[in-house]
């Protein structure tokens, strides 16, 4: 897979590899700051390529913080490889992620953040957001960078194709198409609908993000609040339709 680098906001870089056999991209985000932060480690098997790409932007050994949303190989599979080459790096996670996953999985203790806690990295400030089961996983969380109004939104807005690094056009419809196409597959219900889903979407929209750093597909610049509320509506409609189909 060919890896590309694009700056989607000041000193926030999208590192992307398109998996042609799957039809969508895998993205990591590197934030260059006094304390550099990497969001998503990428797969363990892809670590050498990801490391070499990061090295084009900064010395990988200087990474201080490693964030991810939930426990999956593309999110944090290479965590220990990064910890091995970055002696001052620490994973960041919430209480559930620490106690259920990282206390055993990670080779170094994590920085455990409370919901809403701010992590300063120099010029940037990251708000930790506990979002259980959004996009999925008990341990799920997201990060919001407050100076650039960038929401690192993991699998939310996942869409296929090898489009531009960042777009200002609609990304809700491509996400809807991908979710709808999966309903009859083993990969259905990747975004579960719970009694708290709508509340969490509304909370994210209230942050008024201007950039959405999507993990699979193009990032988005524009009215992030509207996009989040529209995606919430789509997710609710698809969940309702799927439920009716299951009981019919």
Query: pLDDT band at residue 93, thresholds of 50, 70 and 90?
Result: very high
Helix, strand, or coil (residue 229)? helix
What's the average model confidence in pLDDT over 138-153? 98
pLDDT at 32 over 70: yes
What is the domain range of residue 172? 3-247
Cβ atoms 132, 115 nearer than 8 A: no
State the burial class of residue 79 (Cβ atoms within 10 Å of its Cβ: 0-12, 13-18, 19+). Answer: buried
What's the average model confidence in pLDDT over 41-58? 97
Q: How many domains, the chain?
A: 1
Cβ atoms < 10 Å from Cβ of 234? 18
Give CA–CA dist 185/77, Å, rounded: 25
Q: What is the per-residue pLDDT across 182-225, written as a single tens digit (0 to 9) for each?
A: 888 888 878 899 999 999 999 999 999 999 999 999 999 999 99
pLDDT at 173 over 60: yes
pLDDT at position 137 = 96
How open is the CA angle 172-24-38, to the nearest 5 degrees?
Answer: 90
Q: What is the CATH number of the domain that holds 113?
A: 3.60.15.10
Q: Of 58-67, 70-79, 174-183, 185-194, which range is least confident? A: 185-194
pLDDT at position 194 = 94
Residue at token pair 């299951």: 246
pLDDT at position 248 = 47
Cβ atoms < 10 Å from Cβ of 145? 25
Give CA–CA dist 246/240, Å, rounded: 10
pLDDT at 1 over 90: no
Cβ atoms 142, 69 nearer than 8 A: yes
Cβ atoms 82, 62 nearer than 8 A: no
State the burial class of residue 100 (Cβ atoms within 10 Å of its Cβ: 0-12, 13-18, 19+). Answer: middle
pLDDT at 246 over 70: no
What's the average model confidence in pLDDT over 161-189? 92
State the burial class of residue 218 (Cβ atoms within 10 Å of its Cβ: 0-12, 13-18, 19+). Answer: buried
Cβ atoms < 10 Å from Cβ of 58? 14
């Amino acid at each position: 897979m060919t890896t590309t680098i694009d700056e989607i906001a000041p000193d926030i870089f999208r590192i992307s590899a398109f998996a042609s056999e799957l039809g969508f991209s895998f993205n990591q985000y590197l934030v260059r700051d006094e304390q550099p932060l990497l969001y998503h480690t990428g797969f363990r098997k892809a670590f050498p390529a990801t490391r070499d790409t990061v090295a084009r932007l900064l010395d990988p050994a200087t990474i201080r913080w490693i964030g991810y949303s939930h426990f999956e190989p593309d999110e944090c599979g290479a965590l220990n490889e990064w910890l091995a080459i970055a002696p001052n790096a620490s994973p960041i996670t919430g209480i559930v992620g620490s106690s259920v996953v990282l206390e055993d999985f990670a080779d170094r203790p994590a920085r455990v953040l409370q919901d809403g806690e701010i992590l300063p990295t120099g010029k940037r400030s990251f708000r930790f957001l506990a979002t259980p089961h959004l996009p999925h996983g008990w341990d799920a969380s997201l990060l919001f960078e407050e100076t650039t109004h960038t929401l690192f939104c993991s699998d939310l807005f996942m869409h296929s194709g090898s489009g531009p690094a960042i777009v200002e056009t609609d990304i809700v419809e491509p996400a809807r198409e991908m979710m709808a196409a999966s309903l009859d597959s083993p990969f259905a219900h990747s975004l579960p609908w719970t009694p708290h889903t709508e509340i969490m979407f509304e909370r994210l929209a209230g942050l008024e993000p201007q950039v959405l750093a999507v993990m699979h597909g193009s990032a988005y610049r524009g009215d992030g609040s509207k996009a989040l509320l529209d995606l919430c509506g789509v997710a609710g409609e698809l969940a309702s339709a799927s439920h009716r189909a299951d009981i019919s």
